[in-house]
Amino acid sequence: MTHILVTNDDGVFSPGLIALKRALEPMGRVSVIAPDRNRSAIARGITIHTPLHVEQVELDDGSVAYSTDGTPVDCVRFAMLGLLDGVPDVVVSGINMGLNMGDDVTYSGTVAAALEGVLLGWPAIAVSQQHIGDPDDQWDGRHYEFDAVCRFVPRLVPLITEHPFPRHVLLNVNAPARPAHDPPRARVTRLGRRIYNDALVLEGTDGLRRRYTIYGERPGYHAEEGTDFAALEVGEISVSPLHFELTDEQGLDALSGLLADHGLGHAGEHQ
């Protein structure tokens, strides 16, 4: 029986997490280890300077979950290191309340947890849901409709657990607020590019300390065919295969040439 680890970055009591857990239960055994509070935008942060606390808590469906004061990545580490009875076969992170597309993925705790899964050699999926209605209420579960993505993700899981699929690749799933098709249709995409509309806003002063907000305006994006943003535009679920290979091939060549030309290295040394 498939053992699925469910985690998130919105906190163990997030409506998105319980929706995902319920959707995956017909697939096998579902274990939940999640942060005890909202740790969104913490990316791949880990807790190294203090011990971590773990508590068993009861979810809305009466089941028991592990709540920790660690980060999403810490939660996946806990599973690997034996907190659960048995090591999971697959990591599913979410359902995040809010999209994680384009450049967002580098800040996202939801995607970070899935990345930890593939780094540990497990198939992994990150799932995020677009909000409906007032963006100022983005943490309020009533403004998210999880039905379509909850029908899609359980069908996606066996595709990467039961079929040959590169183990270092995670699937980043983003679902539109109002899918254009029923059943929902998905599109394989690459990451698009965000346009962040952030501004330095001085909120007040307190002696020598100044208080700013620097993130605020809703971000836009570059409209480009084939991207995650383009899929959402037409009401389809976006699925982007992502990996953690950060080394740039062009950069290797360009840097080797520069170092060699200036007597600081050897051309082609990286090869």
**Binding region for Mn ion (CB under 5 A):** 9-10, 40, 96
CA distances to 23, 28, 81, 92, 93 from 154, in Å: 7, 10, 26, 10, 13
How far is 66 from 84, CA to CA, in rounded Å?
A: 9
Cβ at position 105, least distance to Mn ion in Å: 12
How far is 260 from 268, CA to CA, in rounded Å?
A: 9
Residue with Cβ nearer Mn ion (14 or 240): 14
In degrees and rounded to multiples of 5, residue 33 shows phi and psi of: -130, 120
32, 17 contact by CB (below 8 A): yes
Residue with Cβ nearer Mn ion (96 or 172): 96
Cβ at position 8, least distance to Mn ion in Å: 7
Residue with Cβ nearer Mn ion (15 or 192): 15
Cβ at position 110, least distance to Mn ion in Å: 6
Task: Pick the closest to residue 242 from 189, 173, 169 (CA basis).
Answer: 169
Cβ at position 217, least distance to Mn ion in Å: 19
**For residue 9, how many other CB atoms are within 10 A of its CB?**
32
Residue with Cβ nearer Mn ion (140 or 162): 140
